[in-house]
Structure 1
Amino acid sequence: MEELTIAKNKKWSSTSSSILIIGVTSNLGFEVAKASLHASHPTFCLVRSSCFSDPHKSQKIQLLSDSGAVILQGSLHDEKSLVEALKQVNVVICTVNSKQVLDQKPLISAIKKVGCIERFIPSEFGSDPDRMHISNMDQGFYSRKSEIRRLVEVEGIPHTYISCNFFMSYLLPSLVQPGLKVPPRDKVTIFGDGTVKGVFMNERDVAAFTISTVDDPRTLNKVLYLRPPGNVLSMNELVESWECKIGKQLEKTYVTEEDLLKKIKETPYPDNMEMVFIYAGFVKGFQTCFDVEASGGVEGTSLYPYLKYTTISMYLDTLL
């Protein structure tokens, strides 16, 4: 477990929003909590009782506590603990995993009940679910997130949605090769014609951008998209970058959209999900086929040019 770089009991800013983070034992949630503390926000973490008996999770909780976070015991299914936690803050960030997305419904009800939350950032942190038109191939992965969006909007809850596209820890370690854990050094499969661009973000950077939005009126009731220069690449560009780093040309096989769809259909769920995400990102281009400004959203690196981030090239260097 890495050490936090935040001073113990660092003084909170009196002008920063107080933040409740749900899901701090996840990789992203832990990074969001660290970023919140680093930015001097009063930081509260709602943690299930079962997490304290898990050595890995309890260590994360202890590190956050030692760095000044207030640890609150509760869960999304315990209205009393939710309401008590919400009354102490004015911003809520939820980072539960995709299987728990609909578990945010009681949270939305509790936010509506307490009436003091000035901004809610629900658990999305991927491709924009309203733009993923993949004909139900994803077993409801994106439609569940869209369902939460509509509920937030119907209830009139101030919000920001974070659309960071792919995490670098997913697909990129294999150079977008389903089933592999490390990048290839001889042969590579390219899906579609290889020219469609996808986006990758480091989770720590996503956390920093997320925390930057909480007191920013420019992101209120908006989608924050992350498309940093250097992190938007096609498969052809990605492979070329890797070839330059290893000093070797790879043998390339191109898989057509039709053949990929056939393979997705033939492969049982959930084993086909990597291919579903590749189809959406690198064949259909749903992450980059629209103009952010025209969509009514905002782009993170334009709003916060001072935030440094890990580029794809930098990440690939760690795989050599």
Structure 2
Amino acid sequence: MESKSRVLIVGVTGRLGRHLAEASLSSGHPTYALVRATTLTSSPEKSQLLQSLVSSGLQLVQGSLEDYPVVVETIKQVDVVISALGSFQIMDQKNIIRAIKEAGCVKRFIPSEFGSDPEKIRLPDPSYTFHAKKSEIRRIIREEGIPFTFISCNYFATFLLPSLVQPGLKCPPRDKVFIYGDGNTKAIFVKEEDVAAFTIKAMDDTRTLNKTVYLRPPGNIQSFNEIVQLWEVKIGKTLEKIYVPEEQVLKIIEENSYPSNFEMVFIYSAFIKGDHIYFSIKDSGVEATELYPDHKYTTISEYLDTLL
């Protein structure tokens, strides 16, 4: 039998990292995680998570991205490196790229993207976002000739959907709902477990080498109006709908500074500009559910069921 690729995950205790580790381990890959020593003692929740992953076979390597010799030696032990660093650490990936180049053994690098394609975003002011930093990391990877796969899942299901896309709310409304734009532009939401599963499937696939893998599951592409309609059917009640035009959305964004306005920025990008779906992926990459039709993913409707 062909041996499984050895995988290093950076950012394993983050929002997506744990799911990547679980998916990698369940697929039989020897899986490593670079973890700061302080993480093991400073956060009981993270410590418990790591203990659970270790019991499932995860191998911990103590160190940080600042410990460059440790990073290089760790990368020399693996075939695939997956970064799940948070948005404020995007540029820290330069050390990963440098170490991958020095190690010379990595067959695939998957940088921390897992959102909208940063090269397709059409926001009015790029200073709002970290997309420019993600584009910069892409540029460096290409220039260094490092084999890569970029994962564009658009939005996680746990972002915006728990409030029915109502900034400031903790749960979906049952009386009235604000709909930004005309409500007809479609956006894409994918559950983190599915993002991780598709990522692990793609990391060794020759069809995804040096390409962007877009996650566009048919059951996860919905307009604002369609999401509200799904919720109304589930609760058996019609909500009062207040439509907020594009001009007013832009005013709200302009009157608040980043990151306090980040939810509205992302709502504008997806539900008004249509940044998830306005382009064809034929010339940009490949689509995950077409490559892996057997994966049973959680639809938006199924996710909303968990909020009842």
TM-score w.r.t. the length of structure 2 is 0.98
CA distance in 1, matches of 2:129, 2:185: 24
Secondary structure of the corresponding residue to residue 188 of structure 1 = strand
Shift of 1:296: 2.7
Partner of 1:102: 91
Alignment-derived partner of residue 154 in structure 1 = 143
Aligned equivalents of 1:319 and 1:23: distance in 2?
Answer: 28
Contact 1:16 1:215 in 2 (8 A): no
Give matches, 1:15-30, under 5 Å.
Answer: 15-30=3-18
Instruction: Kindly indicate whether residue 79 of structure 2 is the aligned counterpart of residue 90 of structure 1.
Output: yes
The equivalent of 2:305 in structure 1 is 317
Give the equivalent residue in structure 1 for 2:124: 135
Letter of the structure 2 residue corresponding to residue 112 of structure 1: K
Q: Is the 8 A contact 1:260 1:275 kept in 2?
A: yes
Task: Tell me, in whole angstroms, the C-alpha distance in 1 between the residues paired with 2:173 and 2:46.
Answer: 33
Question: Matches of 1:115 and 1:64 in 2, distance apart?
Answer: 28
**What displacement does 1:69 show?**
1.5
**2:27 aligned partner:** 39
CA distance in 1, matches of 2:179, 2:94: 39
Q: Cα distance, 1:247 vs. partner?
A: 0.8
Amino acid in structure 1 at the alignment position of 2:230: S
Is this contact kept in 2: 1:137–1:276, CA < 8 A?
Answer: no
Aligned-residue offset at 1:25: 0.7
Partner in structure 2 of residue 262 of structure 1 = 251
Matched residue count: 307
Conserved 8 A contact 1:186-1:251: yes
Give how far 1:135 is off: 2.9
Q: In structure 2, the residue corresponding to 1:244 is in which secondary structure?
A: helix
What residue number does 1:199 align with? 188
Distance in structure 1 (CA, Å) of the matches to 2:272 and 2:303: 23
2:55 to 36, 42, 66: 66
CA-based RMSD of the aligned residues comes to 1.1
* TM-score w.r.t. length of structure 1: 0.94
Q: Which runs of 4+ in 1 moved over 6 A?
A: none
- Contact 1:224–1:300 at 8 Å: present in 2 too? yes
Structure 2 CA distance for aligned equivalents of residues 143 and 35 of structure 1: 29
2:172 counterpart (171, 183, 190):
183
Q: Give the distance between the partners of 1:142 and 1:205, measured in 2 at CA.
A: 23
Distance in 2 (CA, whole Å) between partners of 1:39 and 1:122 is: 20
Amino acid at match of 2:75: L
Q: Which moved more, 1:73-82 or 1:130-139?
A: 130-139
Within 5 Å, give how 1:201-280 maps onto structure 2. 201-280=190-269
The Cα offsets for residues 210-260 of structure 1, whole Å up to 9 and x where unpaired, read as 000111000000000001011000001001111111111111111111110
**For each residue in 1:100-157, what CA deviation from the matched residue of structure 2 results, as whole angstroms up to 9, or x when unmatched?**
0000001100111111011000000000001112133553411011110001001000
The whole-number CA distance in structure 1 between the counterparts of 2:13 and 2:217 is 27
SS at match of 2:38: helix
Q: Are 1:51 and 2:31 an aligned pair?
A: no
Gaps of 5+ in 2: none
Q: CA, structure 1 residues 200+138, in 2 after alignment: closer, same or farther (shift >3 Å)?
A: farther
Distance in 2 of aligned mates of 1:162 and 1:196: 22
